[in-house]
A and B are shown apart, each in its own frame.
Chain A
Amino acid sequence: DTAVSQTPKYLVTQMGNDKSIKCEQNLGHDTMYWYKQDSKKFLKIMFSYNNKELIINETVPNRFSPKSPDKAHLNLHINSLELGDSAVYFCASSPRRPGITEAFFGQGTRLTVV
C-alpha cells in the first residue's frame, strides 16, 4: 500500500534517448510535484501540478515535459537526454486543504545517462 510510487527505480540510458518516469499516489492528494536531486544531494523543485493543472515550472529545459492524466498520476517525460540529466528524480504529493501540510515523497528514480 505504497503511498507515492515511482517507476522505474533505476534507469540507465544513452545520450539522446527519450525516457519517461511514472508516478502514482493513492493518498487522494490534489497536488503533485517533481523534484530533482543532483550528485551533491541538492534538492530542487521542477514542477508542480494541482488537479492536473500545471502550477509551477521552475525554468526547467523544455526537454522535460510533465504530464498529468489525472490527479493521481504525474509522469515525467524527458527528450534528448543529456549527461547532465543524471540525477535522482523524486515525485511527491500533498493534500490541498486549509493549513500547511507536508509533502509525501516517493522512493526516487535514479537516472543515469551514459
Chain B
Amino acid sequence: AQSVAQPEDQVKVAEGNPLTVKCTYSVSGNPYLFWYVQYPNRGLQFLLKYITGDNLVKGSYGFEAEFNKSQTSFHLKKPSALVSDSALYFCAVRVDHGSGNTGKLIFGQGTTLQVKP
C-alpha cells in the first residue's frame, strides 16, 4: 500500500537556523512527492514537488526538498528559518487512478514547525 510518514509531530528551531522536516514514503512505481503548508485556519498551500530529474527541488518561500531514492525520503529544508514559517507541514504522495492524469494525494500525518525568535 502507498503511504507517507512524517516521523516528527513537531520541529522547533530558532530563527535564522536551518530547518529540516522529515518525510519518508512507500510506493510502488515512481514516486510523485509533494510538500504543502497549512497556516492556522487556512487551506493548504503548495510548496514544491518532485516528479523526476534533479534530486534537489526548489520551491516557494525559499524552501527546498531533497529526494533520496535509496532512503525513500523526501525531506523539506530551508537554510534560514523565519518566524513566519511556523505552520503545519504535510508531505504527500500522489497515487494515480486509471489513466488520464487523475489521482489522489496520500498525506503524511503532518509536522508542526515552530520557529522561535
Chain B nearest Cβ from A89, distance in angstroms = 11
> Chain B: interface residue count, which band?
20 to 34
B107 at the interface (CB under 8 A from A): yes
* In the complex, number of A-B residue pairs with CB atoms less than 8 Å apart: 66
Smallest CB separation, A76 vs chain B (Å): 15
B46: contacting residue among A55, A99, A104, CB under 8 A: A104
Q: Once the chains bind, are A45 and B43 in contact (CB under 8 Å)?
A: no
* Beta-carbon contact of B46 and A102 below 8 Å: yes
Closest Cβ neighbor of B51 among chain A residues: A100
Question: Contacts A102-B49, A105-B45: A43 and B102 contacting too (C-beta < 8 A)?
Answer: no
Contact residues in B for A101 (Cβ distance below 8 Å): 101
A-to-B contact residues, CB < 8 Å: 4, 31, 33, 35, 40-45, 48, 50, 55-56, 58, 90, 92, 96-108
